[in-house]
Structure 1
């Protein structure tokens, strides 16, 4: 099996509660991603289940251990 046929595992990005936008979401692509990897911006719910996955690039956004999301603003 050649290296070119292997798929790279999707990246996992840990986020803090302070990094969540609005109702507990993050957006992808995130500002740290290279410009060549851009795709349409999508908002991913992290607060609901503690993690969410981008439907375009497969990046998993996960709430850091011990982080609490406050739903009251």
Structure 2
């Protein structure tokens, strides 16, 4: 395990898929660091964390997700 702090990725509302999830690994990650694709729920306060690599995803300040009806 690494003692390095997890990276934090801020996403815009347009990058959020379905019911409030983002895919990890994201397209900006290096190929060597790829792991199976998972969807991280960012609808909870503070965002969400990838169970594989520990990357934290959160919504950018000022961005809002559409309300589910």
The TM-score normalised by the length of structure 1 is 0.84
Unaligned runs of 5+ in 1: none
Query: Residue by residue, what CA displacement relative to the aligned partner does 1:7-63 show, whole Å, maximum 9, x if unpaired?
Result: 111100000111101111001000000000000110011123350000000000011
CA-based RMSD: 1.9
Q: Which residue is 1:62 aligned to?
A: 58
**Structure with larger Rg:** 1
Q: Paired residues, what number?
A: 69
Q: Which residue is 2:18 aligned to?
A: 22
Unaligned runs of 5+ in 2: none
Check 1:50–1:35 CA distance in 2 against 1; reply closer, same or farther (3 A cut). Answer: same
Corresponding position: 1:41 with 2:14: no
Q: Which residue is 2:9 aligned to?
A: 13
The TM-score normalised by the length of structure 2 is 0.88
